[in-house]
Amino acid sequence: MNEYLPLLTLWRLLGVLALTMSPHLLRLPVWVSLLITALLSWRALSAYHQWPMPRMPLKVVLTLLAGGGIVAQYGSVSGQQAGTALLCLMAALKLLELKARRDVMVMVFLMYFLLLTHFLVSQEIWTVAFLLICAVAITAILIECQHRGALSPRLTLRKSGIMVAQALPLMIVMFVLFPRIPGPLWGLPADAGAARSGLSDTMSPGDISSLIESDEIAFRVRFDTAPPANSAMYWRGPVLDHFDGRTWENAFPITAAGYEPEIERLGQRVVYEITLEPHRMRWLFGLDLPRRDHLPGDAIMSREAQLMATKSVIERRRYSLVSDTDYRLQPTATERMVRRNLALPAKFNPQTLELGRRWRQSLGNDARIVDAALRMFREQPFVYTLRPPPLGRNSADEFLFTTRRGFCEHYASAFTLLMRAADVPARVVTGYQGGQLNEIGGYYVVRQSDAHAWSEVWLSGRGWVRVDPTAAVAPERIERGIEGSISAGEGLPGYLSNRTRLRFYFEARWDWINARWNAMVLAYGPELQQQFLSRFGLDDLRSMILALTVIVTLAMAAVGLVLLRQSLPAPIRDPALREWRRFTRKLGKLGLVQRTDEGPRDFINRVNELHPDLSERANRILMLYLNNRYLDNRDATVADLRQAVSALRL
């Protein structure tokens, strides 16, 4: 194992290592990716030019600098991102002492472990396909390292592919039977707060418009009843009731949970199932407004009718809900609720506050004030745009009276401030609006680009009423989504601008495949495993472990039998050769063994020299064997040879 490493083997190893780490190199910090690339390049050039390997002091210094850099970058060497970066760096630094086949074995096991780290980031279909290709390539390096003679790359890859294919059935059995643990298998707590695109628990000008560039999926929805119209698809998320002059947030995001709001159901119920992508926050999304008595077991409804999970959503989860699109939410007001939703920051947006006060004095009625604000947005030259100009300290004043260009968060924020200034309780609700029907799968896809903000006002006798000021400016946004609401001169985001009908079809087909993959593989947790295995009578953990043990034992026994059969000598089909082997076994009792480089005549000559008493019988057996095997002499039958060998008594 310590013999010299061939140059071609080294280059193939470097290529496979680069392939294995390539997805990580696109995600790691730039300095880490550059250092790994430099180490790979140096090792390839040093092997070609036969440069001397670096001495131990230099390797120690580089290792310490790399570890220190990881600590400086991440603040620790533990956790998903820091651990992956450190592992990639250590694998690259190992190249500095890669000289013998023994070192290749270490690199092979490192690369196998690196494959697993890709699942920390993605578990999509393309990731699995890529990792299978990498597994075949790594196994080919392992085969080449173990083989002593010349072996063509094509034959090596063929053997490697066969080995990986043979392992797939056992992998599937282990996946199905191995006891599942609650929570994400590939998540690490240290990175639970890692950034992800999506809604935040606060809202400032520009927050939601920045999401319009993202085509990431927020969740998928499958309706069990008739789906509502696109204009009624408001997916309720965080409710924000506190404003500091620029940013909206929830004044009591945690303590609000546990208080059940008063809700009167008026409309027909809608039954549906949501598959929510992980967003590392506690909130869940539901069609406005979900029923409390049909919530998931670990979900609660806050006093603002916001759905929240008991823990952060750090893995994809699926849950069913029942909603009513027509309802009365908290028709009876409390003094505390009214006071909280009328609060305004001092010395901010004086023009907006003055306009609201004038409306209160001139109109008096809350519903008329709401209509006046919506009429202002419809009749005056307000523009719905993805690229609003930046706003200063008095953002609402600048938007309403100067720029008049904004996205949904600008309209929702300004409208809510106007209502509060006019003494109408109001708050901001963020979430998503609309969705795109996947006709192949029969479900709706809601993306981050569908993020939306609207307002709720409290009206006497009606409770909290949803008011969407964006619909007054750009009704096509609510009816047809973001694609139908942007002016031709402004242009759509990149992922939408190039979407043709054919491309849309393939995207829908691919998303359906991903949805099935998510439902059948990635969502295969404790509950689904129990449901699946209960069909076969495996209802508890003990039964699963027993079945797993039996299957693994049978699989190992089958592999052992195959290996045993391969280790046994092949059966001799030539009857003459079979009798000759029987003859040599008899002579073996006398210590006479035919050498591998010794032909039949030479062997019998040696027998005659050592045991002259056997020469006559040995020569007769030799002649019968040669005549039958090589001369095709019909006079010397196999029966004669068999009789002569049987007559030999030692």
The residues near 616 (Cβ < 8 Å, ≥ 6 apart) are: none
Task: Tell me which of 191, 324, 468, 511 is the catalytic residue.
Answer: 468
Q: Name residue 460's amino acid.
A: S
For the packed helices 101-117 and 7-25, what is the interaxial angle rounded to 10 degrees? 20
Given 24, 118, 279, 452, the catalytic residue: 452
Mapped onto helix, strand or coil, the DSSP state of residue 330 is: coil
The owner of tokens 């390797």 is: 59
Question: In the structure encoding, which two tokens stand for residue 465, read together?
Answer: 């009423």
Is the separation of the CB atoms in 587 and 617 below 8 Å?
no
**Which residues does residue 427 pair with via DSSP β-bridges, in sequence order?**
456
Distance between CA atoms of 126 and 124, rounded to whole angstroms? 6
For residue 457, list its beta bridge partners: 426, 465
Active-site residue flag, 408: yes
Helical packing angle, 80-94 and 7-25, nearest 10°: 160
3-class secondary structure, 460: coil
> Is 632 one of the annotated active-site residues of the chain?
no
Q: Is 24 within 8 Å of 117 (Cβ atoms)?
A: yes
The residues, any chain, with a CB within 8 Å of residue 578's CB and separated by 6 or more, are 572
β-sheet bridge partners, residue 459: 463
CA distance 298 to 501: 41
| Tokens found for residue 523 | 């969502």
Catalytic residue among 241, 408, 450, 511: 408
Instruction: Count the Cβ atoms, other than its own, within 10 Å of residue 344.
Output: 14
From 377, 375, 452, select the one nearest 408 (Cα to Cα): 452
CA 343 to CA 339: how far, in whole Å?
A: 6
Name the helix (H) or strand (E) containing 124.
Answer: none
State the pairing for strand pair 234-240/426-433. Answer: antiparallel
Closest CA to 469 of 345, 342, 372, 353: 372
DSSP 585-621: HHHHTTT----TT--HHHHHHHHHHH-GGGHHHHHHH
Type of residue found at 237: G
**CA atoms of 141 and 16, how far apart (whole Å):** 8
**Kind and range of the H or E run holding 203:** strand 202-203
Please tell me what DSSP assigns to residue 256: T
CA–CA distance, 28 with 58 (Å, rounded to integer): 24
417: nearest Cα among 474, 361, 465, 469: 469
Round to whole Å and give the CA distance between 469 and 475: 9
Q: Is 279 a catalytic residue?
A: no
φ/ψ of 304, rounded to 5, equals: -90, 10
Catalytic residues: 408, 452, 468
